[in-house]
Structure 1
Amino acid sequence: KQLVGREISQSENWVLEHAKLKARVEVLEKNKRNFMGEDLDSLSLKELQSLEHQLDAAIKSIRSRKNQAMFESIS
């Protein structure tokens, strides 16, 4: 009986883990769409400002790396 109980418990754990991972994937896909400028209508002003800040930081990082690569290519 203990083995059957453990198997059920482990099966329940996998079901819960699957549900958590599925929800996480949905959040990540929504974030990706937002970063691509899609599905913005549902975002609040605060969420839009946060998204803008994250994109500004990403652009600064990209430009910095690009400038570093350009400098390295000419030296």
Structure 2
Amino acid sequence: MRQRIRSIRLFLRKVESTIKTVFGMPDYDRYLKHWMENHAKPGIFPMTEKEYYLYALRHRYEKGGVTRCC
């Protein structure tokens, strides 16, 4: 039973991540996974969730160009 619940939770996290990707929303869990695999070093820490969302918003809206699809 616990394994089934874990499987459902994992599936829902993947669905959530996919939806965020499709709509261009920042995905903190994906960022952490990437950071751990590529940038992790002793004494260096990833951005907090709040810092990450602020960074993603600035990156998306302060480019100076058109940021819409149509």
TM-score using structure 2 length = 0.37
TM-score (norm 1): 0.35
**Structure with the bigger percentage of helix:** 1
Which one scores higher on RCO, CA 8 angstroms, separation ≥ 6? Answer: 2
Which structure has the larger Rg over C-alpha atoms?
1
